[in-house]
């Protein structure tokens, strides 16, 4: 899935990643959970480093920690 963005506020992009993660099936998320998929796409966009959850409909949904995604997808490792 590719995101196509015009200039959007970061909170709109974060919410979009969450919505897509809930709508996609396991095959389209490449076997990742919704928590992992949302975090991986936020990491690719370099957004949401400080997030631990996403809000939807007044509910808080946790997303995977950076370390979990870096273990799954080594290409997202950053050179510190």
70 three-class SS: helix
Task: Tell me what pLDDT residue 7 has.
Answer: 59
Residue 24 CB-density burial (10 A; 0-12 exposed, 13-18 middle, 19+ buried): middle
Task: Tell me what pLDDT residue 5 has.
Answer: 52
User: Does 19 have pLDDT greater than 60?
Assistant: yes
Tens digits of per-residue pLDDT, 47-62? 878 889 888 888 888 9
Per the CB < 8 A criterion, the answer to whether 36 and 69 are in contact is: yes
Which residue did the predictor score with more confidence, 8 or 20? 20
User: Does 79 have pLDDT greater than 50?
Assistant: no
Could you list the beta-strand ranges (E) of the chain: 53-56, 59-62
Task: Tell me what pLDDT residue 36 has.
Answer: 93
């Amino acid at each position: 899935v590719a995101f196509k963005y015009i200039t959007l506020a970061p909170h709109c992009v974060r919410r979009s990643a969450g919505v897509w993660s809930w709508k996609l099936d396991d095959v389209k998320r490449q076997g990742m959970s919704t928590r992992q998929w949302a975090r991986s796409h936020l990491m690719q966009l370099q957004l949401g480093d400080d997030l631990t959850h996403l809000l939807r409909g007044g509910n808080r949904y946790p997303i995977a920690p950076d370390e979990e995604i870096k273990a799954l997808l080594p290409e997202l490792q950053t050179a510190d």
